[in-house]
Structure 1
């Protein structure tokens, strides 16, 4: 009852020079501080928007080209949309193993204590400098 699996790439590591970004949620629902962060990312001419609305595909772009993916806290969903146990922690673990960082806006997703099976959190993953800038901007 399983499909075929094969290793596409071994020793995955985020490139040092990030070039892609993608963020979920509707722009009018973003918080002011998150919108300010996005403006900083978009001001870099080397960064290209790569958002397909499918987290796995979007994070694969970050793993391949370097950059940042995020599904932020929204005005309509202050805790975010993605679930810590099912989306945040698995993707955070993969990106951190590849030399990147994960964050809920304050700390690594891997350091967030689970209080509920379906607990929702903002999810940000990507290159260290982009996640550091995010955390500074959201402060």
Structure 2
């Protein structure tokens, strides 16, 4: 029988590869894994209990909170508070940062930014949803942690990952030394290594964008969509349009099969919709580590200055060659259809 590596075992074995190999980051990743199992349990029985539908309030984004949004947020914050390795949690669901002020956590070295349940509006129609997380080292030395500890460039991430709750539940993460994926085995309650050293194909045949907003897209994006739809055997076009409406699910598919995910700015929302700190930066870190590319159409996502907690950005992310071609259309570079 081949050896099965659980997430806990893998983290311990790879601890020496971490920039700061003292065990805290390993325990922090373990805490996130535990919370993911709890959330997975509730997601998978959502139709049987009273946790479907809206919670009756909106979050800081102006979006209606779903009951599972609230539940997932509570579970991840609780796990991070109990673990003692995190001094601040920055969540999509909370307007301000959450300071963890226990005696142990006050001196903790890590910051966690998290989108507890990406795509949660799809829960009641049984579409895959996910969790996105990002981990930074604290910058401030003494006293309570500060908002400036959160507002760091994506290049400063020490780890990032996502959990996708679908036909199977997977946790995919990086610490800057490649990308590895773990599938939850419900028979033993453990995440087991199933996708070692994940690599994104340099190109693909899938483009993911909400074409319902086509009329509002910049001309360069419209031209790229037309390019994707033109028949050309040399480049395997036309490409397939696949858009789930859950960024984690779209990115996970494209990571494995090759493709591009686009959420551009529009005339009414020039900064786009997706959040930089806890959506775009962690996913950009993962995709780059797998050999892909992530930009806002002009600059590398990980190089963007972070000036506010819920900052938004356009994003073009996926297979490197596809992103480069999309950028060429944005810059009105000559591209043959």
**Aligned pair 1:23/2:209, yes or no?**
yes
RMSD of aligned alpha carbons: 1.7
| Alignment map for 1:1-139 (pairs within 5 Å) | 2=35, 3=37, 6=191, 7-24=193-210, 26-43=213-230, 45=237, 47-139=239-331
What TM-score comes out, normalization by structure 1 length?
A: 0.91
The answer on whether the counterparts of 2:262 and 2:317 sit within 8 Å (CA) in structure 1 is yes
How far off its partner does 1:17 sit? Answer: 4.1
Structure holding more strand per residue: 2
The structural deviation recorded for 1:46 is: 5.1
Equivalent residue number for residue 63 of structure 2: none
Aligned length: 139
CA distance in 2, matches of 1:134, 1:14: 17
Cα distance, 1:38–1:118 mapped onto 2, change above 3 Å: same
Separation in structure 1 between the aligned mates of residue 217 and residue 326 of structure 2, nearest angstrom:
14
Task: Show structure 1 runs of 5+ residues with no match.
Answer: none
- Give 1:16 shift: 3.6
State the Cα distance separating 1:57 from its structure 2 match: 0.4
1:64-111 CA distances to partner (integer Å, 9 max, x unpaired)?
110100111112211000011011101111110100000100121001
Question: What TM-score do you get using the length of structure 2 for normalisation?
Answer: 0.39
8 Å contact 1:71–1:123 — kept in the other structure? Answer: yes
Which deviates the most, 29-38 or 49-58?
29-38
Greater RCO (Cα-Cα under 8 Å, separation 6 or more): 1
Consecutive unaligned residues of structure 2, counting only runs of 5 or more, are 1-33, 38-188, 232-236, 332-337
